[in-house]
Amino acid sequence: MDAKGHVVENARAAVAGLEAAFAEGALIRTSVLDSMLADLMVALEQDEGQKLGGKSAEAARFILRAISRELDNA
């Protein structure tokens, strides 16, 4: 979860990785993780052609840290 690069691309890659891990059974989906992922998806929403940054990027960064802590404590 501590990838180099822009936080928005990192967040999208993290979501894809988590969804793959859930599908493979490597991770168990919990209500806490589901809630965090839902919040992250809201932060990543954008209109066609709109760039994300500022508050959305900061929110994504904050949520990714929370997801990382949750996974570390699992």
Q: Which of 4 and 9 is assigned the larger pLDDT?
A: 9
Domain count for the chain: 1
Q: What is the pTM of this model?
A: 0.76
3-state secondary structure of 49: coil
Instruction: Extract the runs of DSSP E, i.e. beta strands, from the chain.
Output: none
pLDDT reported for residue 28: 92
Q: Count Cβ atoms below 10 Å from residue 26 Cβ, excluding itself.
A: 10
pLDDT reported for residue 64: 92
| 5-50 residue pLDDT tens | 677 788 889 999 999 999 999 999 999 999 999 988 888 876 455 6
- Is residue 28 domain-resident? yes
- Is residue 2 domain-resident? no
Q: Count Cβ atoms below 10 Å from residue 41 Cβ, excluding itself.
A: 14
Distances from the Cα of 51 to the Cαs of 2, 8, 18, 55, 61, in angstroms? 22, 10, 23, 12, 16
Tell me the residue range of the domain where 20 lies.
Answer: 7-72
